[in-house]
C-alpha cells in the first residue's frame, strides 16, 4: 500500500465507507501497526465527540423565525394560507405548523401528529451512525427510560414477523412535551419510526388515518391520552401492515390489567 492510499483508506475505515473485504484488510493492517491504530482510534473518537457535542441541536425546538424562513415570503402566500396562519397566531398554536394551510380555526391535532412524526422520521432515519440514542441491545432500559420521560408505560411493538428489527430509540421534544421515537430496520436497511407523544388536550379519539408528508407515509391514531404515528418510505401497503401490527399489539397490551 502506498502511503497516500493507506491514509485514504484509514479515513474511509473511520467513516465506515469501506467495502467489507477492504475493511477487514485494514483491520489486519492496524493489528500490526500501532501508530496507525492510535490515529484511527483518535479520529473515531473525534467523530463521536462531534456527535456528543452537537446532536442535541437536532432535538431543539425549531426557532419560529427559521420555520417562517422555510416558507415563501408572506406577500406571495395564497390568501387561504395567510388566514390560516393568522388563525394559528390568534389561537397561539405556533409550533412549526406555520403555513400549513389548515382549514379550520382549531387545527386538528392529528394532522400535526402526522406532520411532526414525518419530520422526525426524515431527520433521524438517514443518520447512519447515530440513528438512535439508546440501542436495542438495551431494549428494556430504553423502554423504561422513554416511558418515564413521556409519562406512560410505553411498549416497543415487535415487527419481526414483518421483517423489521428494533434498532433503538430516542427522546425528542415536541409541542406537547416529550416524544419517544422508536426506530426499526429491515434486512436491506430500510427504516421505519414509531413516534409516540401525549395528545393535545381535548382531542377526540381517532381511527386509523393515513397521510403522506413529503414522500413519507404516515399511519397515525390516537389511543387515550397518546398519539401514535408510524412513518416510513417503504410503500403505503407495507407501512400499513406494520401499523396494523403495532396497533394490535399496543391495544392488546393496554387491555391487560
Partner 1 sequence: MRARPDLIEHLPRLRRYARALTGDVNRADDLVQDTLERALAKLDLWQPGSDLRAWLFTLMHNLFVNQIRLRRPQETVMEDALDVPVSGGQMEALAARDIHEALARLPEEQREVLLLVGLEQFGYSEAAQVLGVPMGTVMSRLSRARERMRQMLAGEPAIKLKVVK
Interacting residues toward partner 1 by CB under 8 A? 7-8, 11-12, 15, 17, 39, 42-43, 45-47, 49-55, 57-60, 62-63, 65-67, 69-73, 78, 96, 101, 118-119, 122-123, 127-129, 214
Edge-first strand listing for the sheet containing 134-135 = 134-135, 164-174, 177-186, 191-198, 226-232, 216-223, 209-213
Of 18 and 230, nearer to partner 1 (C-beta) is 18
Residues 135 and 166 sit within 8 Å (Cβ to Cβ): no
Residues 51 and 131 sit within 8 Å (Cβ to Cβ): no
Of 15 and 165, nearer to partner 1 (C-beta) is 15
Of 45 and 224, nearer to partner 1 (C-beta) is 45
Provide, rounded to whole angstroms, the least separation between the CB of residue 52 and partner 1: 8
C-alpha–C-alpha distance, residues 191 and 125, integer Å:
6
Provide, rounded to whole angstroms, the least separation between the CB of residue 257 and partner 1: 40
Of 78 and 235, nearer to partner 1 (C-beta) is 78
C-alpha–C-alpha distance, residues 150 and 128, integer Å:
26
Provide, rounded to whole angstroms, the least separation between the CB of residue 70 and partner 1: 4
Provide, rounded to whole angstroms, the least separation between the CB of residue 59 and partner 1: 8
Q: Count of CB atoms within 10 A of residue 76's CB?
A: 8
Of 5 and 21, nearer to partner 1 (C-beta) is 5
- Please, what sign has the CA dihedral across residues 202, 123, 102, 211? negative
Provide, rounded to whole angstroms, the least separation between the CB of residue 20 and partner 1: 17
Provide, rounded to whole angstroms, the least separation between the CB of residue 243 and partner 1: 21
Of 49 and 252, nearer to partner 1 (C-beta) is 49
- How many contiguous H segments (helices) and E segments (strands) does the chain have? 9, 7
Residues 126 and 153 sit within 8 Å (Cβ to Cβ): no
Amino acid at each position: 500500500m502506498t502511503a497516500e492510499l493507506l491514509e485514504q483508506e484509514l479515513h474511509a475505515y473511520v467513516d465506515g465507507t469501506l467495502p467489507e473485504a477492504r475493511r477487514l484488510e485494514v483491520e489486519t493492517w492496524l493489528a500490526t501497526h500501532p501508530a496507525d491504530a492510535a490515529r484511527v482510534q483518535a479520529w473515531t473518537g473525534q467523530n463521536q465527540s462531534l456527535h456528543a457535542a452537537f446532536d442535541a441541536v437536532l432535538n431543539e425546538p425549531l426557532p419560529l423565525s427559521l420555520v417562517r424562513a422555510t416558507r415563501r415570503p408572506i406577500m406571495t402566500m395564497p390568501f387561504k394560507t395567510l388566514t390560516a396562519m393568522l388563525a394559528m397566531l390568534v389561537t397561539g398554536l405556533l409550533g412549526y405548523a406555520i403555513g400549513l394551510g389548515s382549514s379550520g380555526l382549531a387545527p386538528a391535532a392529528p394532522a400535526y401528529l402526522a406532520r411532526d412524526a414525518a419530520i422526525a422520521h426524515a431527520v433521524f432515519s438517514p443518520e447512519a451512525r447515530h440513528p438512535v440514542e439508546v440501542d436495542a441491545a438495551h431494549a428494556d432500559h430504553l423502554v423504561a427510560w422513554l416511558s418515564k420521560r413521556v409519562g406512560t408505560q410505553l411498549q416497543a411493538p415487535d415487527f419481526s414477523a414483518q421483517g423489521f428489527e428494533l434498532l433503538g430509540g430516542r427522546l425528542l421534544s415536541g409541542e406537547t412535551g416529550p416524544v419517544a421515537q422508536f426506530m426499526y430496520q429491515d434486512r436491506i436497511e430500510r427504516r421505519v419510526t414509531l413516534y409516540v407523544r401525549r395528545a393535545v388536550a381535548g382531542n377526540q379519539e381517532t381511527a386509523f388515518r393515513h397521510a403522506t408528508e413529503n414522500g413519507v407515509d404516515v399511519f397515525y391514531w390516537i389511543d387515550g391520552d397518546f398519539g401514535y404515528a408510524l412513518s416510513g418510505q417503504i410503500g403505503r401497503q407495507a407501512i400499513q401492515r406494520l401499523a396494523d401490527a403495532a396497533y394490535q399489539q399496543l391495544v392488546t397490551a393496554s387491555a391487560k390489567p
